[in-house]
Amino acid sequence: MALLHAAAAKWARAVVSDIPEALVVFTPSGKRGRFPVGTPLLQAARSLGVDIDSVCGGRGICGRCQILVAEGEFAKHGISSRADSLTPLSEPEMRYAKRQTLADGRRLSCSAKLLRDVVVDVPSSSQVHRQVVRKEADTRDIKLHPVIRLHYVDVQQPDMHDPSGDLRRLLDALEFEWRLSGLECDLSVLQILQPALRAGEWKVTVAVHAGKQIIAVWPGFHEKAYGMAVDVGSTTIAAHLCDLLSGELVAAAGLMNPQIRFGEDLMSRVSYSMMNPGGFVQMTSAVREALSALAAEVAASAGVTAQDILESTIVGNPIMHHLVLGIDPVELGGAPFALAVDQALTVSAKSLELNIHPNARIYLLPCIAGHVGADTAGMILAERPDLSAELTLLVDVGTNAEIVLGNRERMLACSSPTGPAFEGAQISCGQRAAPGAIERVRIDPTTLEPKYKIIGNEFWSDDPQFGTAEVTGVCGSGIIEVIAEMYLSGVINQDGVIDGALAKTSDRVVANGRTFAYVLRRGEVTLQITQNDVRAIQLGKAALYAGIRLLMEKLEVEKVDRIRLAGAFGSHIDVKYAMILGMIPDCDLSKVGSAGNAAGTGARIALLDSTSRTAIEDIVRRVEKIETAIEPRFQQHFVEAMAIPHKSAPYPNLRMAVTLPEPKDSAAQTATRGRRTRR
Amino acid sequence: MALLHAAAAKWARAVVSDIPEALVVFTPSGKRGRFPVGTPLLQAARSLGVDIDSVCGGRGICGRCQILVAEGEFAKHGISSRADSLTPLSEPEMRYAKRQTLADGRRLSCSAKLLRDVVVDVPSSSQVHRQVVRKEADTRDIKLHPVIRLHYVDVQQPDMHDPSGDLRRLLDALEFEWRLSGLECDLSVLQILQPALRAGEWKVTVAVHAGKQIIAVWPGFHEKAYGMAVDVGSTTIAAHLCDLLSGELVAAAGLMNPQIRFGEDLMSRVSYSMMNPGGFVQMTSAVREALSALAAEVAASAGVTAQDILESTIVGNPIMHHLVLGIDPVELGGAPFALAVDQALTVSAKSLELNIHPNARIYLLPCIAGHVGADTAGMILAERPDLSAELTLLVDVGTNAEIVLGNRERMLACSSPTGPAFEGAQISCGQRAAPGAIERVRIDPTTLEPKYKIIGNEFWSDDPQFGTAEVTGVCGSGIIEVIAEMYLSGVINQDGVIDGALAKTSDRVVANGRTFAYVLRRGEVTLQITQNDVRAIQLGKAALYAGIRLLMEKLEVEKVDRIRLAGAFGSHIDVKYAMILGMIPDCDLSKVGSAGNAAGTGARIALLDSTSRTAIEDIVRRVEKIETAIEPRFQQHFVEAMAIPHKSAPYPNLRMAVTLPEPKDSAAQTATRGRRTRR
C-alpha cells in the first residue's frame, strides 16, 4: 500500500493540476467515482470503499486484487467500457502471469490504471469479505472475516541517525502501508524479527491477529494462512482445515476421542476424575495429543505443515471443553453443575500444548450452562435462529439432548437426560452405527413381517441382491424406526405395550419372560425388540419431548415453525419416524430437517468470520438457561410424553402424512397380559 | 467493600430519615465532610477520596485501614475531637488486635463508626499511595502505585437457577466489591479457580495486574505480594525484593553474571554469538538461570518463596536486555547497531523461564539506542532530570559511558567509547575493585612521596596502623587519583607527559624503556604508573568529556548545573579528582555527587510506581539520541579533551577549590625526553 499512498499523493497533485478524469463503476457493488487518468484501480476502489483483497499492498506480487473489465455499452452509466479503458498489461502483471497464470481478461487492479470511463467487475475471489458457500441445504453462506490477516511490508533499514529498534520500524511500516496502529508483538516473533528482516532484505510478511497482535513473521512474501475448526465430541473428534485467505475448506479428518479408555461416556470420565484426583490431567493430555495429531493430519492432506495453522476454534460439551483447557471437570459431575468458566476464551496454542504455530490463538466458543456447552453455542451459530421470525427448535441428541428454542425475539436452551438408548446402548440388540447395523425397518401391518436395511448395503433385506450380508445389531435410527413401525402395525399400543395376543397369530411376537418381544430377525444372530427396549426408548423420547415442551411452555407457544436435528443422530434419522414416536413436537414435515454436524459448522463459522464471535457471545449471554432438574413441570411433561406419540398432543401435521393407529383399549391388553402371566 | 456498600445504602437511608450528622476531618489531607452518625470511617474516607488502603474490603481482617483519633480541641475546625467520638472497639477490631496486635489508639477504619465530630489521622502506613523513602541523599521519595493489587472477595455460590461459571461470579464479585470491570483471567488461574473457591469457602484473594488481568488466586485471605527489581549488568546482576503492599525493600542480593564464561566484556560476548551462530541461546540460559537463582535467594532471605514474587522489573544495557529476552545480540555488535526492540516490554515470567510466580509479569524498561540501554532509562527514572529547570548531567561510566544531559525543556543522550581503563583494565597495575586494591592516593608535591589507602583497610599507608596489609594493584578510583595527583604534583604536565627530569631528583620517577614511570609502591609487588597508563586514562577521559561536550554543544550550553555519577565507579570516585583529570566539565563541586546504582533504583521505581512506567516511556521517546560515531565534531572534541583537565575549558569552579599547576613548557619536556632517548 506504500505504492498506493504514493499514487494517492500523485492523484492529489493531479486534482490540483487539472489532469483529465475518468469515471469508474465497480460491480457488483455499484460504487462509482471519477478519478484522474492514471489512477491505479485498486487505489480508486479503496477510496470508494470497494472491497478488494491485497496481501502485498499493491506490489503486483500476491495477485489477490484481480478484476475484469466489463466490456460493452452501459447505457445506465453512459459508459462504453472496453479492455483498453485501462493501461496495457504492465511489467508486474506479466511477471505475475508468468509465475501464477492470470486468467484471460483478468488484470491486477494495483497495476492497471484508469485511461477512460470503465465498468470493472470485482470477482468474489478478489474480495476480502467474500461469501463462503456452505454445502448444507437451507443455510446461509459464511461471510469471510478472518481474524488473521497477512500483510507484506517494506521496512525501513536501520540508520545510525535514527536508533529506533527493528520492531518500531516494522510497526511504522504497518501503520504507513496498512493503517494498522497500536499493534503489539509476541515475544517469539521479536526473537526472530532481526534475522527475518535481513533474510527478506527488509521485506517481510506478518500475520496480525484481530488487528492487534503480530503473531508471526516470515522473510519476503508469504501467503499461507490456515485455520482449524475442531469439534471435540466425547466419542469422536473432527477437524476441518480452512484456508484463511480464501475461506475454502481444504481438508477434514476425524478420530476417536482417546479419552474413551478412561470411560465410554461423559459421566464415566467425570467419575474417573472423581475416583482419581488429578486424573483429569491424563484425559487432558490424551485429548490434546489427539488435537495435535489431527492438526498434523489435516495439514498433511492439504500439503502444508501444522506450523501453517495460525488460528483454531474449538467447540465441545462442557466436560470436553474443560478437559481441553486443563480444568478438572469434577464440578460438572454433580449438582449444581458449576462451570469453571462460561464465557468464550482465547488462549494460545502453546498453553494448550497444541502443536500448530506456537503463537496461534485458540478461540473456544462460550458454554451456556453446566450441561449445555460450546457445542450447543456452535449449533446456534450454525443455524442462527435469532435471525428469523420463525420459531425454530434445534435439537442435538446424545446421552443428553441439548435443546434450543427461539427466534429473533427470545431464545431458550436446556439439556434433557435422554439416556443412551438413542445411541443403541441399553437396548438388548442395540449397537453403535457401523456396517452391519440395521438402520431402516418396515413392518407389514398385516403379516407383521419386517424388512430392513443395514449400514453398508443399499438393498432392503427382502431384495435378492441383499445377499448374505452379516447383520450385527440395530443402531439408533433403526431402533427409532422399528419401534415406530411396531406402533404403526399394532404390535405395540400407544402406551408401548407389546400386544401378547398377537403371539397367537404371528411367530414374530413371542413370549419373553413375563412380557413379550418382537422378533426382528432370526438367524445366526437373533434380534428381538423386548418390552424393556420399548420402555428404554419411551423413557428417552419422553425426556426429550418433556424438555422441548418445557421450553415451549416458557415461551408460551403451542407449536414450532421449524425443527433442525443436529449431530450424527440427526443426520441419519428419518424425521417422520422421530415424529411418529413423539420425540419431537408436531411440525410441517417439510420444515423438519437435519442440521448436519452443526456444532462443527459453528466452529468453522467462528474460524472464518470473526464478527460471528461477538455475535455468538451476545446470543449466549441473552439465552435463557433452563435447568430441567429443578423445573417441577418437567416431571409432569415427562410422564405425559411416555405415550406414542403423546397422550394429549394432537399432531395434526403428522396425521396428514401418516395414518396413526386408532387407540386400542389399554385395559383389554392389560387383561391379555394378565392372562398370560397366569398361564 | 461489600460491607461498605451495605453501609452506603444505610447511609442513604439515614439521609432520608434525618439521622443526625457529624463532621469528620481527615489529616494530613485535610479532606472533610459531614456524615450520618454510624457511618464507618472507611466509608466516609472513600466518599471523600481520602487514600486509605484495604485488602479485605472492609471486613476487619487485613488491618491495613488503621487510623488514629487526633484528640484535642481543633479551633480551626471548631471540633473537640476525642477517642469516644467513634464507636467503641468492635468485635472485628478485638479479634484483629488479638491476632496481629493493634497499636495503642489505633482503630480499624472499616469497623470504627462516627458518633460525634472528629479529627482522624491517616498514618502513611495506611495509605495505598504512601511515600517510599529512598536512602540516597538528594533524591525524591517513591510514590507507591503498585501494578499488582490484592483483593479479597466473597463469591456467590453456584446455583442451578443461574448456571453462570465460577469465573463469571468471581468477576461479578470483583466488580461489586472493588469496582473492577472488564477483567481478564490467566488460563492457569482458571485451572485452579474451582478448587480455590471451594477450599476458601467462596472467599478468595486474587492478584490483579494493572487493574486488568487476574494473575493469581488463593483460597481465603492472602496478603503476600512481592516484586523483584533486577539490574542485569555485564559483570554483576543485582536483585532487590520489595513488599508490594508496603513498598518496603525486604531483601537484596547480587551475583556475578555467569555469562562471563562466554566473554569478560560485552563485545566479547557479542563476538561469541557471531562466531557461534545460535550461541546466544547458552548466554540467555545462563542469565535466566542466574535470575531464578537470585529470585530464590532474595525470597529465602525475606522468609517467603519465589512463588510469592508476582511482578518483576529489569534494567540492563542493550546486549543484556536482548539476551534476557532471548534475542541474538549480534546486530548490536556492528554498525548500525540496530536494536530488535526499543520500546518497553511486558512479558510473562513463564516466557523468560523465570522461576517466580508463573503468571508474574516482567516489565523491561525501554532501550534508548543501540548503545544506550534500559539501564540508562533506569538512571533517568532514578534522577528525573526532566522535573527540574537545572541542567543535569548524568554519567554512568563503564567500558562505554552513557551520558544524559537535560532538564525539563530537553534531554539528550549518547554513549561514548571510554574503554575499560576506568575499570582498571589496560592499566599495567590495574585491577578490579577488591580488597588490597589501592583506591585513594595522595602525592607530596615537594618530595613526590605517595601515600595511599587500600580497599578493606581504613588507614592510610603512612599510618603505623596500616600494618602489613597486602597491596595487590590499583582499582579505578585509585587510578583517577594517582594520575590527578601526579598532575597536581607536577610529575606529569597538562599533556600527560611524565617529566623525566624529575628522575634526577626523585627515585619516584624512573626510566621505563623510552619513557618514564612513577613508582607508586615498592615491595613484593611493585606498582608503577607508566606513560602508557597515563595515555589510556587520557583516552578514556577524553572520550567521556567529548561525549558530554557534544551534548552541551547540541543544547547550546557552556556549563551544567548539576552532575550525577552513577554506577559503582560513581560511588567510589572522589568527584574532585574526576574534575581535576577533566573527565567531567566544570561545575559547582557541591552540585556533583554520586547517584549510586541509579539503574537499579530505576528498576525499583518502575516496580513500585506503575505510573513511572508511562513516565519513563514518554521521556525515552522524547530523548534526543546522539550517535557519537557519526558526529564529526566528536573527534575534534576528543582531541581537545586529551589535555588535563582540558586545553581550553577554564574550570572556574574547580580552580576555586584546587590550585592547579601552571602550564609547563611542553617543548622543554619534549627536549628532556629527547635527551633521555639519546642517552
pLDDT score of A679: 35
Mutate to test the interface with B, among A170, A191, A624 (most CBs of B within 10 A): A191
Answer yes or no: is pLDDT of B429 > 90. yes
Q: Which residues of B touch A341 (CB under 8 A)?
A: 165-168, 185, 190, 193
Q: Which residues of A touch B630 (CB under 8 A)?
A: 160-161
The CA distances from residue A137 to A129, A391, A595, B415, in Å, are 22, 19, 9, 69
Phi, psi values for residue B159, rounded to 5°: -150, 135
Select the residue of B167, B195, B342 nearest A164 (Cβ to Cβ): B342
pLDDT score of B136: 66
B193/chain A closest Cα distance in angstroms:
7
Is B343's CB within 8 Å of A168's CB?
yes
Cell of A660: 396413526
B492/chain A closest Cα distance in angstroms:
38
Tens-place pLDDT, residues B8-52: 666 556 555 678 999 999 999 999 999 999 999 999 999 999 999
Q: Are the C-beta atoms of residues B370 and B376 closer than 8 Å to each other?
A: no
pLDDT score of B90: 93
Q: Which residues of A touch B158 (CB under 8 A)?
A: 331, 336-338
Tens-place pLDDT, residues A52-104: 999 998 899 999 999 999 999 988 888 899 999 999 999 999 999 998 888 88
Interaxial angle between packed helices A611-622 and A598-608, expressed in degrees from 0 to 180 and rounded to the nearest 10: 130
Q: Touching check for A325 and chain B: CB below 8 Å?
A: yes
Q: Are the C-beta atoms of residues B239 and B230 closer than 8 Å to each other?
A: yes
Q: What is the mean pLDDT of residues A478-489?
A: 96
pLDDT score of B100: 87
Tens-place pLDDT, residues B561-595: 999 999 888 888 899 999 999 999 999 999 999 99
Under DSSP, is residue B483 helix (H, G, I), strand (E, B) or coil? helix
pLDDT confidence of A667, banded at 50, 70, 90?
A: very low
- Please give the full DSSP string across A478-516, using - where no structure is assigned: HHHHHHHHHHHTTSB-TT--B-GGGGGT-TTEEEETTEE
pLDDT score of B469: 83
pLDDT confidence of B670, banded at 50, 70, 90?
A: very low
pLDDT confidence of A17, banded at 50, 70, 90?
A: low
Select the residue of B168, B330, B337 nearest A343 (Cβ to Cβ): B168
pLDDT confidence of A19, banded at 50, 70, 90?
A: confident
Q: Touching check for A333 and chain B: CB below 8 Å?
A: no
Q: What is the mean pLDDT of residues A478-496?
A: 96
Calpha distance B546→B628 (Å, rounded)? 9
Calpha distance A584→A547 (Å, rounded)? 10
Q: Touching check for A368 and chain B: CB below 8 Å?
A: yes
Sheet holding A509-512, edge to edge: A509-512, A515-521, A527-530
Select the residue of A158, A194, A629 nearest B160 (Cβ to Cβ): A629
Closest chain A residue to B159 measured between Cα atoms?
A336
Q: Touching check for B161 and chain A: CB below 8 Å?
A: yes
Answer yes or no: is pLDDT of B325 > 80. yes
Mutate to test the interface with A, among B184, B323, B339 (most CBs of A within 10 A): B339
A226/chain B closest Cα distance in angstroms:
24
Calpha distance A563→B517 (Å, rounded)? 103
Select the residue of A165, A195, A630 nearest B341 (Cβ to Cβ): A165
Mutate to test the interface with A, among B166, B341, B362 (most CBs of A within 10 A): B341
Q: What percent of chain B has pLDDT over 70?
A: 95
pLDDT confidence of B3, banded at 50, 70, 90?
A: low
Q: What is the mean pLDDT of residues B399-419?
A: 94
Q: Touching check for A445 and chain B: CB below 8 Å?
A: no
A19/chain B closest Cα distance in angstroms:
42
Q: Touching check for A275 and chain B: CB below 8 Å?
A: no
Using the Cα atoms of residue B536, residue B541, residue B542 and residue B547 in order, give the sign of their dihedral.
Answer: positive
Of residues B377 and A7, more confidence is placed in: B377
pLDDT score of B264: 80
pLDDT score of B532: 95
Question: DSSP character for B434?
Answer: -
Cell of B222: 492472602
Cell of A264: 465410554
Q: What is the mean pLDDT of residues A40-49?
A: 93
Closest chain A residue to B370 measured between Cα atoms?
A163
Is A165's CB within 8 Å of B191's CB?
no
Q: What is the mean pLDDT of residues B412-438?
A: 89
Calpha distance B483→B443 (Å, rounded)? 10
Query: What residues 475-534 of chain B have any CB closer than 8 A to a CB of chain A?
Result: none
Tens-place pLDDT, residues A216-260: 999 999 999 999 999 999 989 999 999 999 999 999 999 999 998
Residue whose C-alpha cell reads 597508563 in the numeric block:
B533
Name, in order, each residue with C-beta under 8 angstroms of A437's C-beta and a sequence gap of 6 or more. Answer: A424, A431, A454, A455, A472, A473, A474, A475, A478
Cell of A610: 470473526
Of residues B477 and A380, more confidence is placed in: A380
Cell of A73: 455499452
Under DSSP, is residue B664 helix (H, G, I), strand (E, B) or coil? coil
B233/chain A closest Cα distance in angstroms:
21
Is A340's CB within 8 Å of B630's CB?
no
Q: Are the C-beta atoms of residues A264 and A326 closer than 8 Å to each other?
A: no
pLDDT score of A130: 86
Nearest to A380 by CA among A667, A109, A621: A621
Phi, psi values for residue B233, rounded to 5°: -95, 165
Q: Touching check for A167 and chain B: CB below 8 Å?
A: yes
ipTM: 0.90
Q: What percent of chain B has pLDDT over 90?
A: 80
Closest chain B residue to A329 measured between Cα atoms?
B194
pLDDT confidence of B669, banded at 50, 70, 90?
A: very low
pLDDT score of A674: 41
Cβ atoms within 10 Å, residue A131: 13
Is B163's CB within 8 Å of A625's CB?
yes
pLDDT score of A3: 60
A374/chain B closest Cα distance in angstroms:
13
Angle of CA points A170, A172, A176, to nearest 5°: 120
Q: Touching check for A163 and chain B: CB below 8 Å?
A: yes
Q: Is A499 left (phi over 0), alpha (psi -120 to 50) or beta?
A: beta
Alpha helices by DSSP H, listed for A215-313, are 266-275, 280-301
pLDDT score of A588: 96
Tens-place pLDDT, residues A115-159: 999 999 999 889 988 888 776 656 778 999 999 999 999 999 999
Q: What is the mean pLDDT of residues B494-506?
A: 95
Mutate to test the interface with B, among A155, A157, A160 (most CBs of B within 10 A): A160
Contacts across the A-B interface (CB distance below 8 Å): 145
Closest chain B residue to A167 measured between Cα atoms?
B341
Q: Which residues of B touch A625 (CB under 8 A)?
A: 162-163
Is A163's CB within 8 Å of B339's CB?
yes
Select the residue of B167, B339, B342 nearest A340 (Cβ to Cβ): B167
Q: Which residues of A touch B342 (CB under 8 A)?
A: 163-165, 167-168
Using the Cα atoms of residue A300, residue A303, residue A304 and residue A310 in order, give the sign of their dihedral.
Answer: negative
Is A325's CB within 8 Å of B165's CB?
no
Q: What is the mean pLDDT of residues A458-486?
A: 93
Half-sphere exposure of B19 (CA within 13 A, CB side): 17
B3/chain A closest Cα distance in angstroms:
26
Q: Is the peptide bond before A385 cis (omega within 30 degrees of 0)?
A: no
Q: Are the C-beta atoms of residues A561 and A591 closer than 8 Å to each other?
A: yes
Cell of A470: 452379516
Q: Which residues of A touch B340 (CB under 8 A)?
A: 165-167, 190-191, 193-194
Select the residue of A163, A185, A191 nearest B369 (Cβ to Cβ): A163
Tens-place pLDDT, residues A299-314: 999 999 999 999 999 9
Closest chain A residue to B626 measured between Cα atoms?
A161
Q: Touching check for A338 and chain B: CB below 8 Å?
A: yes
Tens-place pLDDT, residues A364-375: 999 999 999 999
Q: Touching check for A625 and chain B: CB below 8 Å?
A: yes
Half-sphere exposure of A84 (CA within 13 A, CB side): 0
- Residues B108, B113, B116, B120: what is their CA dihedral angle, to the nearest 10 degrees? 30
Closest chain B residue to A349 measured between Cα atoms?
B187
Answer yes or no: is pLDDT of A426 > 90. no
Q: Which residues of B touch A372 (CB under 8 A)?
A: 163
Q: Are the C-beta atoms of residues A27 and A122 closer than 8 Å to each other?
A: yes
Answer yes or no: is pLDDT of B60 > 50. yes
B169/chain A closest Cα distance in angstroms:
9
Closest chain A residue to B329 measured between Cα atoms?
A194
Nearest to A48 by CA among A81, A77, A18, A23: A23
Q: Which residues of A touch B343 (CB under 8 A)?
A: 165, 167-168
**Range scoring the smallest mean pLDDT among A3-17, B524-538, B543-557:** A3-17
Nearest to A529 by CA among A424, A663, A455, A407: A424
Calpha distance A669→A499 (Å, rounded)? 7
- When the pLDDT of each residue in chain B is averaged and rounded to a whole number, the result is 92
pLDDT confidence of B606, banded at 50, 70, 90?
A: very high
Give the distance from CA B678 to its chain's centroid.
Answer: 56
Answer yes or no: is pLDDT of B667 > 50. no
Cell of A458: 443399499
Name, in order, each residue with C-beta under 8 angstroms of B347's C-beta and a sequence gap of 6 or more. Answer: A187, B325, B361, B362, B364
Q: What is the mean pLDDT of residues B373-392?
A: 97
pLDDT confidence of B158, banded at 50, 70, 90?
A: very high
Q: What is the mean pLDDT of residues A605-631?
A: 96
Q: Which residues of B touch A167 (CB under 8 A)?
A: 340-343
pLDDT score of A79: 87
pLDDT score of A676: 40
Answer yes or no: is pLDDT of A536 > 60. yes
